[in-house]
Copies of this chain bind each other. A is one copy, B any other.
């Protein structure tokens, strides 16, 4: 089937979910090439909007995402990658999930998870996993 990459200038959002726990780990974007690379390698590859190139998740950290199942939504404009996440977490801030903060009713953010690793030991500049 053809995905609809037209709505976001060649990209579709890609939700990453832990296959075992069901936890939502992160959200990235894929272009057609990134989706092909994901399917060919069996590991999640995004298109990095900031760096304007393919970005294989874990290429620096080793925290790669092995695809167990890819899903597509009704409008074919979003992807769900159900994965086995290698390593202690996907987030460059040192958490299992990038969604580690809760938005409170007053607009503030509260920590909802504990750090699972020290990002300084994984990322030299502490950025861009």
Contact = CB atoms under 8 A, between A and B. Distances in A.
| Copies of this chain in its oligomeric complex | 2
A49 interface: yes
A76 to B, nearest CB: 8
Contact of A103 (B7, B39, B49, B103): B39
A86 interface: no
Given A39-B105, A103-B1, A21 B22 contact: yes
A15 interface: yes
A122 to B, nearest CB: 14
Interface of A: 1, 7-8, 13, 15, 17, 21-24, 26-27, 39, 49, 69-75, 78-80, 91-93, 95, 98-103, 105, 107-109, 112
A13 to B, nearest CB: 5
Contacts of A1: 101, 103, 107-109
